[in-house]
Amino acid sequence: MNAPLLLLWFATGVLNSPLAAAELLAQSGQEITKKSEAFDCGQSFKAEGEPLVLWHAWRDQEAEALAKVVAACGLPLKVTSSPFEGFPEKVSTALAHGRGPDLFIFAQDRMGQWLKAGDLATQQAVPGRFLPVAQEAFLHEGQSYGLPLASKSLVLFVNRALEEQPLEDLAMVPPRDQPLLWTTLDSYYHAFPFLAAAGAAPFDEAGQLQFPSESDRQGLEMLGRLVNELKVLPRSLNADQAKAAFIEGRATYLMDGPWSLDGLRARVQELEIRPLPKVNGRPLRPFLGVDGVFVSAHSTRLELARSVASALASDRSAALRLERAGQLVPNLKVGAWAKAQGLRPLASQAMAAQVNGYPTPTQAEMLAIWGPAKDAVTAVVRQGTPAEDALSLAKRRIQKMLDPLPPPADLAPWFVVAGLLGVMGLIVVVRRYRADRLTRRSRTPLPTLLGFALPGGLVLILLVGAPILTGLGMSLFARGEESWRFVGFANYLSILASDGLGPTHPLSFWFTLVVTVLWTLINVALHFGIGLGLALLLFRPGLKFRTPLRLLLILPWAIPNYITALAWKGLFDEQFGAVNAMLLTLGLDPVGWWDTGVAAFTANLCTNVWLGFPFMMVTALGALSAIDGDQLEAARMDGAGSWFRLRHVILPQVMPAMVPALLLGTIWTFNAFNVIYLVSGGAPAHATDILVSEAYRFAFEGQQRYGYAAAYSVLIFGILVLFAWASTGVKGRRES
Amino acid sequence: MRRWLTQMGIYGFLVLVTIVTLYPLLWVVGLAIGDGQRRGGLNPFASAPSLDGFQTLFRQSGFGQALFNSLAISLAAACLGVLLAATLGYALSRFQFFGKDAGLKSIIVSQMFPGVVSSIPIYWLLHHLDLLDSRTGLVLVYATTSVPFCAYAAKGWFDTLPSDLLDAARMDGAGPWRTFWTVALPLAAPALAVTFLFAFMGAWSEFILAQTFLFEESNYTVPMVLQRFTDPHSADWRAFAAGSLIVSAPVLALFYTLQKHLVGGLSAGAVK
Amino acid sequence: MGAVKPVSLALEGLGFTFPGADEPVLRDIHLKMDAGGFLVLVGESGCGKSTLLRLLAGLEKPTNGSILFDGVEVNELEPRERDVAMVFQSYALYPHMTVAENLGFPLRVAKQSPESVRSRVGEVAEALGLSALLQRKPGELSGGQRQRVAMGRAMVRQPRLFLFDEPLSNLDANLRAQMRAELGQRHRELGITTVYVTHDQVEAMTLADSIALLRNGRLEQVGSPEDCFMRPETDYVASFFGQPPAAVVPGAWSDGILQLGQGQVPFKADWSQGQDSQLKVGLRPDALVLDTEGSLEGHLDEVEYTGAECRAYFRLRGLEDHRVCVSIDSNEAAKLNVGTTARLGVLNDRILLFGADGKALRVTPE
């Protein structure tokens, strides 16, 4: 950090000096040092033995600052930065297999899960070092399980150049056409401040789940009014859109998190950060997420790990991370120092603005709330559903997810049935073998056969066959607190009964099944039609530029689909998307692509058709080029028109090659998890989910109900096998 | 005259389709070399192109290493997958043995089981083979994922080889392996090219398993690094798009090298 | 490489059934063949001749009986252990290899040194006139050239036994005649035992030392071309050979009279098989002549001009279901009108007599 820059910050810091600088920070105003080097690491470490392993999901400046801390305090640490997506699951799984790190950094909200699994070691809290609310976030039954490093919560960004009068109370703002406070409202996280303002909390004092409570209803109703009647909040925006409006000077106020600070600071001149405003005189209370350092209970060097964790949460570390990465460190001494120094003034403002933060609960049940609560919020905000109805549905779904395990089923009859099936299978195999007409000599010699088939076969059995069998088995189990419980068909019954929701409800298995079937049918039909049509055009004799055209047309296939799917999602963006721009050019109204099931389905469909037609086109081209040219000539000599030639000469010869492609295409489309997940994400409210994306939700979002997800997989498998069996049956009959 | 009109109509239509096909990709390009601002409208390109996205990308520590890892893992997985699939497909096509039909059917049927929970037993398996957090383990997993489809395609192709050729090799004194290597395999080049492409692409763009099985940063693959640019709250779409272009390059190169085979390789197995 | 020692061949009770099939393709084949001989296997398609060849090659293993090379059973030996070479109908050239690589393949498989492979390939190419084509791929060759490469690949290893599976059937007529002659020439030079499958009688007659006619998986007759033509052992053999083959019509003999339909042919013979026996009578085109005083009357169905000589097809009175052919010269043919009747005489020493079971009757007309 060079001196002029520090000076500049100092200057702007004085200018921007926040009026509402938290008294909390002032409390610790002890002795103030000038440089971060003056703070200490708590203790020193001798380099001996293998370094401990630390995993985190920070990146860029935060990761660099962390590296500085490790170097500055001489920590015996090997630091690994992992992608954020799937990080907590990765930690859980690795810890469960004894392969996890000694320490890891994550927000406190996943703590409950790790606690349940017995993965966390206790740590010594340092009284008076941290902002009390941040330290308390890591408390469980009076024990501290983590040390706070950085806090993150929604705050109010203000463009003072546009501000006419300070925003005090959202409910007092006169009705208007344009939103006043810009934000996305597409998650429970962003809606929570409004619910909390009405006094809602997901868990009661005793830690018991109480969502959704009467306060939630009031808060949600208020939120609905703010959006749809008072119009001070936007109805359907995503976070990027809200941020863009703020940057472009169309919005005076933005509700966003400190992670956006860097992007905003560079582009908005008179930026100020304040606590969120009030509603009806009560302050909005955002979730306060605190990234903390956890120590694995499985670490072989627990004491060393604890002292390293303590050093990571030391004053020196906090000062470095604040200075280098602008992290909001809940460290009282360092906070006061930064404020006094005018160092990172906006960060200081942001820290002060977190004053009303509500620490995200650590209970594992929290994972069950996010999804249903999000659906309730979007239903109220976007569809105008009464808060009462939306919340009662959410309540049902949460209860279902948190259902005590199904009663254990008796294993004995299953053993008998499985045994009988096994014996019968064995008998069938032996009889088949006996009846096999191949004489011993006409068989390929065993060593040769094994040489060719064994490597592939073995690997397939191990890495494909065994997981399928495991999946079949898992579908009969449910994961309990510590172990798996055999529950028989309970998972299947629960899925098929669809939580008692009617078959027309988007969350019902049957609704999803219909969506999946429609999805598959339309996709495959379009893949086939477009692919074959283009192939026929490209196949026309005398066509020029055939090769370049073909090369360009297979591009969608060639580029990894997680990239192109995201590109399509961008095209369907309501505000910036090219599709809506095109509609506007044509004089049509723009469409909110994620607001209705039909629109979102169409968007998914466009993406997947685009992704899938080249495969069919190439297959069809291959099949076409194998057709005997003489036959076409003969047909033409016979005076057959082009339609007749297509129908009676070309298609009958192309179809045999297309059938396997169609079968494969059907299977792939039926399980096209990627596209759904990346494009619509199931929006709105799971209406565009297909079976496999539902299954993924159960496995990896929320409760990790692997047994339930496995049962979903088995059902999907059954449907596809049935389909394949039926279609080959039909084909067989037609041939005979 | 009518013929001329038809011809023009066809060209017009093909050009239109090509534009629609390329348009989303132009957005990726536009984003990658753009100014980092979100753009509305129909024109994907910013007025002032910049290479900052690529700079961000290459500043991201470990991108080069990840590129190397991804290339190594994907190539190895594709080679291994093709090899396993080719031998297996050859056995299924040319050998006589009990359970051949059942074997082929189960290979197809295995494709129908969604891999939602498969990562759990595979994790266990890799753990016990001591292949967690290793590129070898990932190579094995990726190779296997591609084997069923590739073996099926290879079998279809081997079915079309005239049996006289293989008999001739046998007459010329070649054993089963020699026949396979020197006659069947070279003749199956188109099908192998296609299966190689499939296996490579599968491995090249996979994220979930890589994120689950790899711990060390020095083992990370490109999708894992790219994923970082889409982290919630701090997405950097320009860097992501820049990365996308780089990620697409080898696949495109492969496609264009192998495209001659692509047309025949996919379908020939089924035609004859 | 020492001088080639051709092998003698014996099949003893050979039988073969395809795995999973009910009916055997070959049954109870007995056959002997001297070293250096040229055996042609003929028969209708599906009679098992190609299968027999594949059994000799070792590509299939017999179900019953045995195959003996020089008196040693080779039933279970792989092709490469039998030291045989085969030319396929499709030639089965490796399309991805050049001519030189194709020719050298068997030698490379046998792990010969690159130099000896090169020199041997050069020799064979020289002998077959392929020297200029060594660097081409099979796709760039004409049909005849491909055929030669296939031959060369079989010759290059100097096997003990040559097997040919209809090697000339994909060539046009002129080329076929030329290659046929070359083939005969080459066999005479090399003296390697050869088994040759064809459906072309001319090839069979011109090339073979002996011909084996197969019918439904059984040997119908083995013998020299002359035997097969002149002395068919069954009516099937008679109706197989010849251009056109013999017409086999029912007949009866009693008291020096051969009854053919309504015609009565004086036929005195030393008849030991018994009186009034039902017969099958084989009539080759040269067994009948136009003869105003002939004992048969026929209705002229069609006349085929084949050049100097013509074939006239008649339906004999009382045997209207059969067509018999008579060779006549074109001058005579000009006098005939289709649709008219004519009288035909029989040359007794040319007709073939078979019992009701189809077995030849060795009857010498007096």
Q: What is the pLDDT of residues C195-217, one digit of tens each?
A: 999 988 888 999 999 999 999 99
Minimum Cα–Cα distance from C60: chain A residue: A442
Q: What is the pLDDT of residue A363?
A: 87
> Does the beta carbon of A588 lie under 8 angstroms from any beta carbon of chain B?
no
Distance from the Cα of C20 to chain A's closest Cα (Å) equals 4
Which SS3 state, helix, strand or coil, does residue C212 take? strand
Residues in chain B with CB shorter than 8 Å from the CB of C109 are 172-174, 178
Find, among A567, A210, A215, C337, the residue nearest to B243 by Cα: A567
Chains that touch C (3 or more CB pairs under 8 A): A, B
On the question of pLDDT at A17 being above 50, the answer is: no
Number of domains in chain B: 2
Q: Which residues are paired to C14 by β-bridges?
A: C29
Whether the bond into C244 is cis, omega within 30 of 0: yes
CATH number at residue C254: 2.40.50.100
On the question of pLDDT at A185 being above 80, the answer is: yes
Q: Are residues C136 and C221 in the same domain?
A: yes
Q: Which two tokens stand for residue A697?
A: 């939700």
What does the alpha-carbon distance between residue A148 and residue A131 come to, in Å, rounded to a whole number? 9
Residues in chain A with CB shorter than 8 Å from the CB of B152 are 660
Inter-chain residue contact A97 with B123, CB threshold 8 Å: yes
Q: Are residues B98 and B13 in the same domain?
A: no
Q: What is the pLDDT of residue C293?
A: 84
Chain C interface, best mutation among B172, B177, B185, B192, by max C CB count within 10 A: B172
Q: Are residues A149 and A160 in the same domain?
A: no
**Which letter does DSSP use for residue A711 in this model?**
H
Inter-chain residue contact C63 with A439, CB threshold 8 Å: yes
Q: Are residues A145 and A85 in the same domain?
A: yes
Lowest mean pLDDT among A250-254, B184-188, C49-53, C347-351: C347-351
Q: What is the pLDDT of residue A21?
A: 37
Sorting pLDDT into bands at 50, 70 and 90, what band is A24? very low
Minimum Cα–Cα distance from C21: chain A residue: A437
Q: What is the pLDDT of residue A735?
A: 47
Distance from the Cα of A178 to chain B's closest Cα (Å) equals 20
Q: Which helix (H) or strand (E) holds C16?
A: strand C9-16
Q: Are residues B18 and B151 in the same domain?
A: no
Q: Are residues B135 and B19 in the same domain?
A: no
On the question of pLDDT at C10 being above 90, the answer is: yes
Q: Are residues B68 and B46 in the same domain?
A: no
Residues in chain C with CB shorter than 8 Å from the CB of B162 are 90, 92
Which SS3 state, helix, strand or coil, does residue C48 take? coil
Inter-chain residue contact A438 with C63, CB threshold 8 Å: no
CATH number at residue B101: 1.10.3720.10
**Which letter does DSSP use for residue C361 in this model?**
P
Residues within 8 A of B (CB atoms), A 314-343 only: none
Inter-chain residue contact A83 with B231, CB threshold 8 Å: yes
**Which letter does DSSP use for residue C289 in this model?**
E
Q: Which two tokens stand for residue C250?
A: 């029912």
Lowest mean pLDDT among A333-337, A726-730, B138-142: A726-730
- Please check whether residue A285 is in contact with residue A143, taking contact to mean a CB–CB distance below 8 angstroms: no
Lowest mean pLDDT among A33-37, A141-145, A347-351, C99-103: A33-37
Minimum Cα–Cα distance from A435: chain C residue: C20
Q: Are residues C29 and C156 in the same domain?
A: yes
Number of domains in chain A: 4
Inter-chain residue contact B223 with A562, CB threshold 8 Å: yes
Distance from the Cα of A425 to chain C's closest Cα (Å) equals 23
Range of the domain at A579: 514-702
Inter-chain residue contact C20 with A437, CB threshold 8 Å: yes
Q: Which two tokens stand for residue C138?
A: 């099979």
Q: What is the pLDDT of residue C124?
A: 92
Q: Please indicate, yes or no, if residue C193 is contained in any of the structural domains.
A: yes
CATH number at residue A525: 1.10.3720.10
- How far is residue A528 CA from its own chain's centroid? 32
On the question of pLDDT at A16 being above 70, the answer is: no
> Does the beta carbon of A550 lie under 8 angstroms from any beta carbon of chain B?
yes
Instruction: Indicate the average pLDDT of chain A.
Output: 86
Range of the domain at C198: 9-230
The amino acid at A726: A
Q: What is the pLDDT of residue A10?
A: 34
Inter-chain residue contact B96 with A623, CB threshold 8 Å: no
Residues within 8 A of A (CB atoms), B 116-145 only: 116-118, 120-125, 127, 132-133, 140-141, 143-145
Q: Which two tokens stand for residue A482?
A: 């510590």
Q: Are residues C216 and C286 in the same domain?
A: no
Q: Which of B116, B122, B247 sits opposite A692 (nearest CB)?
A: B116
Range of the domain at B196: 54-271
Q: What is the pLDDT of residue A531?
A: 94
At residue C246, φ and ψ (nearest 5 deg) are: -65, 140
CATH number at residue A311: 3.40.190.10
Inter-chain residue contact C109 with B170, CB threshold 8 Å: no
On the question of pLDDT at A393 being above 80, the answer is: yes
**Which letter does DSSP use for residue B43 in this model?**
-
Q: Are residues A677 and A583 in the same domain?
A: yes
On the question of pLDDT at C169 being above 50, the answer is: yes
What does the alpha-carbon distance between residue A619 and residue C53 come to, in Å, rounded to a whole number? 39
Sorting pLDDT into bands at 50, 70 and 90, what band is C328? confident
Q: Which of B172, B175, B187 sits opposite C96 (nearest CB)?
A: B187
Lowest mean pLDDT among A18-22, A111-115, B198-202: A18-22
Q: Are residues C178 and C307 in the same domain?
A: no
Q: What is the pLDDT of residue A30?
A: 43
Minimum Cα–Cα distance from C19: chain A residue: A438
Q: Are residues A148 and A160 in the same domain?
A: no
Q: What is the pLDDT of residue A479?
A: 79
Other residues' Cβ atoms within 10 Å of the Cβ of residue C291: 14
Instruction: Indicate the average pLDDT of chain C.
Output: 88
- Please check whether residue A117 is in contact with residue A92, taking contact to mean a CB–CB distance below 8 angstroms: yes
On the question of pLDDT at A1 being above 60, the answer is: no
Minimum Cα–Cα distance from C89: chain B residue: B164
Q: Are residues C137 and C256 in the same domain?
A: no
Q: Are residues C167 and C292 in the same domain?
A: no
Q: How far is CA B160 from CA A181, A623, B172, B194, C60, in A?
A: 67, 14, 21, 16, 21
Inter-chain residue contact A540 with B10, CB threshold 8 Å: yes
Q: Are residues B76 and B191 in the same domain?
A: yes
Which SS3 state, helix, strand or coil, does residue B135 take? helix
What does the alpha-carbon distance between residue A612 and residue A534 come to, in Å, rounded to a whole number? 13
Q: What is the pLDDT of residue A237?
A: 82
Minimum Cα–Cα distance from A437: chain C residue: C20
Q: What is the pLDDT of residue A31?
A: 45
Q: Are residues C224 and C251 in the same domain?
A: no
Q: Are residues B228 and B245 in the same domain?
A: yes
A200-247 per-position pLDDT tens digit: 999 998 888 998 999 999 999 999 999 999 899 998 788 888 888 899
Q: Say which residue the tokens 């498998």 belong to.
A: A717
Residues in chain C with CB shorter than 8 Å from the CB of A439 are 19, 63
Q: What is the pLDDT of residue C258?
A: 85
Inter-chain residue contact A657 with B267, CB threshold 8 Å: yes
Q: Are residues A432 and A518 in the same domain?
A: no
Instruction: Reduce the secondary structure of A404-469 to three states and give it as a string.
Output: CCCCCCCHHHHHHHHHHHHHHHHHHHHHHHHHCCCCHHHCCCHHHHHHHHHHHHHHHHHHHHHHHH
In chain B, where does DSSP find H-type helix? 2-32, 52-59, 63-94, 100-110, 119-128, 135-160, 163-171, 176-179, 185-187, 189-204, 208-213, 222-228, 237-271
The most confident of A403-417, B158-172, C255-269, by mean pLDDT: B158-172
At residue A274's C-alpha, the angle toward residues A269 and A279, to 5°, is: 130
Q: Could you tell me whether strands C277-283 and C352-355 are parallel, antiparallel, or unpaired per DSSP bridges?
A: antiparallel
Other residues' Cβ atoms within 10 Å of the Cβ of residue C2: 5
Q: Which two tokens stand for residue C356?
A: 């009701």
Burial of C322 (0-12, 13-18, 19+ CB in 10 A): middle
Q: Please indicate, yes or no, if residue C365 is contained in any of the structural domains.
A: no
Find, among B142, B82, B141, B110, the residue nearest to B265 by Cα: B82
Number of domains in chain C: 2
Task: Tell me the mean pLDDT per 10 residues along chain B, length 272.
Answer: 82 91 91 78 80 84 90 96 94 90 90 87 91 93 91 88 91 92 90 88 90 91 89 82 90 85 61 34
Inter-chain residue contact C20 with A441, CB threshold 8 Å: no
Inter-chain residue contact B267 with A82, CB threshold 8 Å: no
Q: Note the residue count of chain A.
A: 736
CATH number at residue C222: 3.40.50.300
Q: Are residues A521 and A637 in the same domain?
A: yes
Q: Are residues C189 and C71 in the same domain?
A: yes
Inter-chain residue contact B171 with C90, CB threshold 8 Å: no
The amino acid at A688: T
Q: Are residues B19 and B99 in the same domain?
A: no
Q: What is the pLDDT of residue A159?
A: 94
Q: What is the pLDDT of residue C260?
A: 86
Q: Please indicate, yes or no, if residue C341 is contained in any of the structural domains.
A: yes
Q: Could you tell me whether strands A253-256 and A282-283 are parallel, antiparallel, or unpaired per DSSP bridges?
A: unpaired
Radius of gyration of chain A from Cα atoms? Answer: 31
Q: Which of C59, C109, C110 sits opposite B167 (nearest CB)?
A: C59
Residues in chain A with CB shorter than 8 Å from the CB of B176 are 444, 448, 451-452
Inter-chain residue contact C57 with B164, CB threshold 8 Å: no
A642-664 per-position pLDDT tens digit: 788 788 888 888 888 888 888 88
Q: Please indicate, yes or no, if residue C240 is contained in any of the structural domains.
A: no
Residues in chain B with CB shorter than 8 Å from the CB of A55 are 215
Q: Are residues C225 and C304 in the same domain?
A: no
Residues within 8 A of B (CB atoms), C 52-111 only: 54, 57, 59, 78-80, 84-86, 88-90, 92-96, 105-106, 109-110
On the question of pLDDT at A19 being above 80, the answer is: no
Q: Please indicate, yes or no, if residue C362 is contained in any of the structural domains.
A: no
Q: Could you tell me whether strands A139-140 and A484-486 are parallel, antiparallel, or unpaired per DSSP bridges?
A: unpaired
Minimum Cα–Cα distance from C88: chain B residue: B164
Last residue of a domain, one of C230, C264, C289: C230
Which SS3 state, helix, strand or coil, does residue C161 take? strand
Q: Are residues B26 and B142 in the same domain?
A: no
Q: Are residues B102 and B25 in the same domain?
A: no
Chain C interface, best mutation among B101, B171, B180, B192, by max C CB count within 10 A: B171
> Does the beta carbon of A84 lie under 8 angstroms from any beta carbon of chain B?
yes
Q: Are residues C177 and C75 in the same domain?
A: yes
Q: Are residues B94 and B114 in the same domain?
A: yes
Residues in chain C with CB shorter than 8 Å from the CB of A434 are none
Q: Are residues A175 and A256 in the same domain?
A: yes
What does the alpha-carbon distance between residue A445 and residue C268 come to, in Å, rounded to a whole number? 64
Q: Are residues B45 and B63 in the same domain?
A: no
Q: Are residues C205 and C90 in the same domain?
A: yes
Q: Are residues B29 and B91 in the same domain?
A: no
What does the alpha-carbon distance between residue B128 and residue B122 come to, in Å, rounded to a whole number? 10
On the question of pLDDT at C185 being above 80, the answer is: yes
Q: Are residues C204 and C285 in the same domain?
A: no
